[in-house]
Amino acid sequence: MAFKLIYSVVLLLTLWSTAGCDFLVEGVLQMECHDRYFMIAVDLAATGGPRFEAVDETGTYAITEDYAAKCGYSIGVLSLLGLVEFRASYFSCHTEKDDGFSFRFNLITTYDGEDAYYALNKTCSPPLPWSPREVTCEVNYMEVSVRSEIPCPAGFSDNWSTLEPLYSASTQDWQVTFQNLDEQLPPMNLSQARRKGYVFDLAHDRIVFRTPYGQPESYSTEVNGIPVEVVHATVFSRQSWVVIMVDMIAACSMDAGSYHSGYMIWDTPEALYPSLGSTQISLGLNGKLVEQAAAEQKGFIMARYNSTVKIGIPYNAEGGYRKSFVSNGIFEFYIFNLYLKQTSVDERHEETALRFHRTLVTPLLPSSLFTEDQTDVAEGEFTVYLGKVPRDVELTSLQLNGQEFEVPFSNAKTYTLTEFSKENAAMLHKLDINYTLIAIPGNDPYYYTVSVTALMAVSPPSFDASCTVSGIDFKLAYRSFDYLWDISIGSDRLTPALAARRGYTMSNDSHSLLLSVPLFTPGYKYQDITLKDFLGTFTILVRDHDTSEAKTSTIKTCLFNTTELIICSTNGWMTVVADLAVVLQSGEIPTKTHLMNSLCVPKEVDGTRVLFSFPLHSCGSIVKLSKGNVTYQNKIYFVRSENVTEGMTVQCTYPLASLQRLFSIHKFESDKEGFGNIIPFVEPTKAVPTRTTTEMTTTVAPQRTRTPSLHLPSFYPTARYIKVYRVQNQLPYLNKGTKETMQEKRFPRF
Ligand SMILES: *[C@@H]1O[C@H](CO)[C@@H](O)[C@H](O)[C@H]1NC(C)=O
Ligand SMILES: *[C@@H]1O[C@H](CO)[C@@H](O)[C@H](O)[C@H]1NC(C)=O
Ligand SMILES: *[C@@H]1O[C@H](CO)[C@@H](O)[C@H](O)[C@H]1NC(C)=O
Ligand SMILES: *[C@@H]1O[C@H](CO)[C@@H](O)[C@H](O)[C@H]1NC(C)=O
Ligand SMILES: *[C@@H]1O[C@H](CO)[C@@H](O)[C@H](O)[C@H]1NC(C)=O
Ligand SMILES: *[C@@H]1O[C@H](CO)[C@@H](O)[C@H](O)[C@H]1NC(C)=O
Ligand SMILES: *[C@@H]1O[C@H](CO)[C@@H](O)[C@H](O)[C@H]1NC(C)=O
Ligand SMILES: *[C@@H]1O[C@H](CO)[C@@H](O)[C@H](O)[C@H]1NC(C)=O
Ligand SMILES: *[C@@H]1O[C@H](CO)[C@@H](O)[C@H](O)[C@H]1NC(C)=O
């Protein structure tokens, strides 16, 4: 029984290409200008947790977590992809904003404790015109920029170009005041605000305001049930009698997302910023925006109700990342870097473009492995497929019925099952598989177990049998499971000891069993006995090992040439073929042969051979009891001269223990065949019966011996019977009231 395991691993797709890399710096995969940010993708493995420094003419600035949130940088470690994604807002602190937006960074990598610096630079020009108001909800900060041209009623002519020198020349003139839900906080100058983490800037004719999340001046609220963080800053400047105020409101949906029916759901209010009618939405993953229709075609859901925009990202959306997690089960989760742009137009037809960068993570979702049992019983092989193995999960080893196997598991390697159990006419093969799976990267094993069974129809073994001159040969070529059965002759299990005791010849090795059963050994049945030939039948039973129930038998009947034989059947018949030549003089033909009761004559005579067949206790048989045996004796007589009668003593001896019934009316039953003897004798004529008789125990010369004194009548007794109990060490006793224990060797006469 061989086990095959087919396991396929889908390689992690390379999600990032190195295309777009316009110069070669080790570990840098990509530098890209996006609509509102500049992005550097760095190989995590090659750079070993890189750091960045922003560079401008005033110096280099290490980008720490706090500094990033304040100055418009975000660093995302996408360990699943082995990437670090670095984003810089076009208005980030150290962008050189004169002619386009120029970025300069130092990428610092560490090898063996040594820092290596790589200078990166790129100039971007935004591919899109700026909206009057733009808001970016980055992962670590909010940024608002507004056109510095003051939207005034007609006739009130001024612009930010006139404001600019004021602003840059005397910043102390510019104040900022924050407003939370219920109060207006005292104003502060811009340096104070900056110290608190807020950045105000003026670039490309835009006023820029940036704030990290969770500032003391921020407030959290709910809009249509969605959590929103708001920082409401108003910058103002009093120039004699003119006060210029600019409202900078940063408001972002803080919905963390939820997972529902295969979709990552993320909500944002329809109208975070004043909107005439509904907002326009485009969205995508990993910084790529597509229009609503195209997104919907990719399976994204966008629904609006109750002034809420609901985004549904299909769990398997292209651009999403999945990761397996092993902890008492295999789980998976998905990560989406959602990028969404929401454009609204207010009553003055001024456009606000709101952009979200959101990292959404699904909860741990149980991952259901399954196995498919494709075992083909006819092939004698287990084939089990393990399916739905996440691509970041590896099969590291497995146990088959507790035995450990390393993988890869080659198909050439076969494992022979030795454990199986048996059911009715079929064998149940059981294979317990214990898969060890590991989510990579990681070491935590997860064991997935499955039991497969195969029910194989099995037939008990059957022997090949062949006739020989002197017996029957049986042969059995073992199959692997043949030990499930016992082989027996009648009720006795075949063992080397039994074979030896009964005179069978047996050879048994792991491949085959050979059994030669000579004629006249126990177990034979004989039929159609004639002087010419007779049929001998030998039966081998195959029994269930557990229940001893006979399942099949091999019965072989052979025709044998008759020479001499004596058969003492279990049902109480003696059949004798005797060759009287031993006691005849050469050329003599026996005439008038008969048994002790002279009315019992041979069934067949052929030259010197005679065939008698008679019930044991008829024809004048003598019954002799000895310790443990009962012997029926009769004689084949033929008269040779007046003075001398010669013949053969024929006798059947049965062990008493095997007798079921003895003389119970007309019936004789023995578990075992009797043991027969043919013994020539010579005795005086007319001495039948006499007290002296010659018996010989060899077939060579007649011998005199005592004549049995008791005879049975030639007809069956009627009234009384004797029951013989199969009690060890206890002789049978007379029944029917006499209760006389039989201690004599001679059987009482009826
Ligand atoms: C920008 O990078 C290129 C290529 O590495 C280099 O030749 C150039 O001098 C850099 N420019 C500045 C201003 O650092
Ligand atoms: C804004 O002011 C500058 C300088 O005073 C002037 O050159 C420019 O024409 C003004 N722009 C508008 C739209 O009035
Ligand atoms: C801002 O205000 C603080 C405290 O009132 C003051 O010490 C500081 O000089 C001011 N800075 C500017 C640039 O006006
Ligand atoms: C709509 O929003 C309001 C306010 O948040 C909320 O009370 C109401 O339950 C929402 N209705 C539905 C149908 O979600
Ligand atoms: C699977 O194998 C592991 C490691 O040998 C063992 O800890 C665990 O009990 C096995 N599981 C079953 C169901 O046998
Ligand atoms: C029986 O005897 C005949 C004649 O002697 C011989 O041809 C035959 O082969 C014998 N058969 C067996 C089964 O011994
Ligand atoms: C034959 O040998 C096998 C062991 O090789 C043993 O299990 C079986 O019992 C033997 N059969 C007999 C009939 O002795
Ligand atoms: C019974 O008869 C058998 C067969 O002749 C013989 O081997 C055995 O010894 C006898 N047993 C007794 C107790 O006489
Ligand atoms: C038979 O016996 C008688 C007397 O006992 C004797 O005379 C006779 O010769 C014997 N016959 C033979 C053939 O031996």
Residues 293 and 330 in one domain: yes
Q: What is the CATH number of the domain that holds 681?
A: 2.60.40.3210
Atom of ligand 4 minimally distant from the CA of 306: 1
- Residue 102, ligand 5, Cβ within 6 A: no
Atom of ligand 6 minimally distant from the CA of 467: 13
Which H or E run includes 488? Answer: strand 485-489
**Which listed ligand is nearest to 536 at the C-alpha?**
6
Residue 331: what residue type? F
Mean pLDDT of 482-511: 90
Q: Is residue 729 part of a domain?
A: no
Ligand 1 shell residues, CB under 6 Å: 23, 104, 119, 121
Residue 248: what residue type? M
Atom of ligand 5 minimally distant from the CA of 402: 14
**DSSP 8-class letter at 307:** T
Residues 192 and 225 in one domain: yes
Spell 596-628 as b/e; 16+ CB within 10 A means b.
Answer: bbeebebeebeebbbbbbbbbbbbbbbbbbeee
Confidence tier at 26 by pLDDT (50, 70, 90): low
Residues 119 and 237 in one domain: no
Q: What is the CATH number of the domain that holds 109?
A: 2.60.40
Cross-strand pairs, 694: 704
Residues 588 and 681 in one domain: yes
pLDDT exceeds cutoff 80 at 416: no
Distance 104 CA to ligand 1 centre (A): 9
**Closest C-alpha among 227, 248, 229, 239 to residue 178:** 248
Distance 643 CA to ligand 9 centre (A): 6
Residue 720 pLDDT: 28
More confident residue, 661 or 124: 124
Residues 596 and 613 in one domain: yes
3-state secondary structure 92-153: CCCCECCCCEEEEEEEEEEECCEEEEEEEEEEECCCCCCCCEEEEECCCEEEEEEECCCCCC
Residue 418 pLDDT: 56
More confident residue, 373 or 152: 373
Mean pLDDT of 176-192: 88
Distance 164 CA to ligand 3 centre (A): 20
Distance 540 CA to ligand 6 centre (A): 26
**Which listed ligand is nearest to 642 at the C-alpha?**
9
3-state secondary structure 174-196: EEEEEECCCCECCCEEHHHHHHC
Distance CA 280, CA 274 (A): 13
- Residue 677, ligand 8, Cβ within 6 A: no
**Which listed ligand is nearest to 306 at the C-alpha?**
4
**Which listed ligand is nearest to 159 at the C-alpha?**
2
The answer to whether 143 and 82 are in contact (CB under 8 A) is no
Q: What is the pLDDT of residues 27-47, one digit of tens each?
A: 777 899 999 999 999 888 777
In angstroms, the Cα distances linking 27 to 12, 82, 485, 583 are: 19, 11, 70, 116
Q: What is the pLDDT of residues 288-301, one digit of tens each?
A: 899 999 999 999 99
SS3 state at 160: helix
Tokens of 197: 């983490």
The lowest-confidence range among 40-54, 493-507, 570-584, 714-728 is 714-728
Residue 248 pLDDT: 92
Residues 115 and 143 in one domain: no
Tokens of 137: 């909800």
Protein residue whose Cα sits closest to atom 13 of ligand 4: 306
Residue from 643, 682, 686 to probe ligand 9 pocket by mutation (most atoms less than 8 Å from CB) = 643
Residue 705 pLDDT: 30
**Which listed ligand is nearest to 471 at the C-alpha?**
6
Cis omega before residue 689 (within 30°)? Answer: yes
Residue 544 pLDDT: 85
pTM for the whole thing?
0.58
Q: Is residue 725 part of a domain?
A: no
Q: Is residue 726 part of a domain?
A: no
pLDDT exceeds cutoff 70 at 708: no
Residue 274 pLDDT: 86
Distance CA 744, CA 734 (A): 12
Q: Is residue 428 part of a domain?
A: yes
Mean pLDDT of 657-672: 66
Residues 109 and 233 in one domain: no
Mean pLDDT of 425-431: 78
More confident residue, 315 or 16: 315
**Closest C-alpha among 352, 150, 154 to residue 236:** 150
pLDDT exceeds cutoff 60 at 703: no
Confidence tier at 750 by pLDDT (50, 70, 90): very low
Q: In this prediction, what percent of the chain has a pLDDT beyond 70?
A: 80
Distance 147 CA to ligand 3 centre (A): 27
**DSSP 8-class letter at 314:** E
SS3 state at 376: strand
Q: Where are the beta strands (DSSP E) in 270-369?
A: 280-285, 290-291, 301-305, 308-314, 321-326, 330-345, 351-361, 365-366
Residue from 326, 405, 447, 448 to probe ligand 5 pocket by mutation (most atoms less than 8 Å from CB) = 447
Which range in 237-251, 354-368, 439-453 is most confidently predicted, on average pLDDT?
Answer: 354-368
- Residue 121, ligand 2, Cβ within 6 A: no
Distance 502 CA to ligand 7 centre (A): 18
Residue 275: what residue type? S
Residues 581 and 700 in one domain: yes
Which H or E run includes 567? Answer: strand 565-568
Residues 42 and 119 in one domain: yes
Distance CA 595, CA 175 (A): 148
- Residue 449, ligand 5, Cβ within 6 A: yes
Residues 571 and 698 in one domain: yes
Q: What range defines the domain where residue 333 resides?
A: 270-311+324-366
Which of 105, 124, 143 finishes a domain? 124
Q: What is the pLDDT of residues 98-145, one digit of tens each?
A: 888 999 999 998 877 888 888 999 999 988 899 999 999 999 999 999
Q: Is residue 331 part of a domain?
A: yes
Residues 599 and 653 in one domain: yes
- Kindly list the strands in the beta sheet with 73-78, ordered across the sheet, starting from the edge strand earlier in the chain: 28-33, 37-43, 83-89, 73-78
Mean pLDDT of 304-316: 92
Residue 183 pLDDT: 86
Protein residue whose Cα sits closest to atom 1 of ligand 8: 629
Residue from 191, 196, 235, 237 to probe ligand 3 pocket by mutation (most atoms less than 8 Å from CB) = 191
Which H or E run includes 297? Answer: helix 292-297
The lowest-confidence range among 39-43, 273-277, 504-508 is 273-277
Residues 174 and 200 in one domain: yes
Distance 124 CA to ligand 1 centre (A): 14
**DSSP 8-class letter at 460:** -
Q: Note the helical H segments in 446-582.
A: 496-502
**Number of domains present in the structure of the chain:** 6
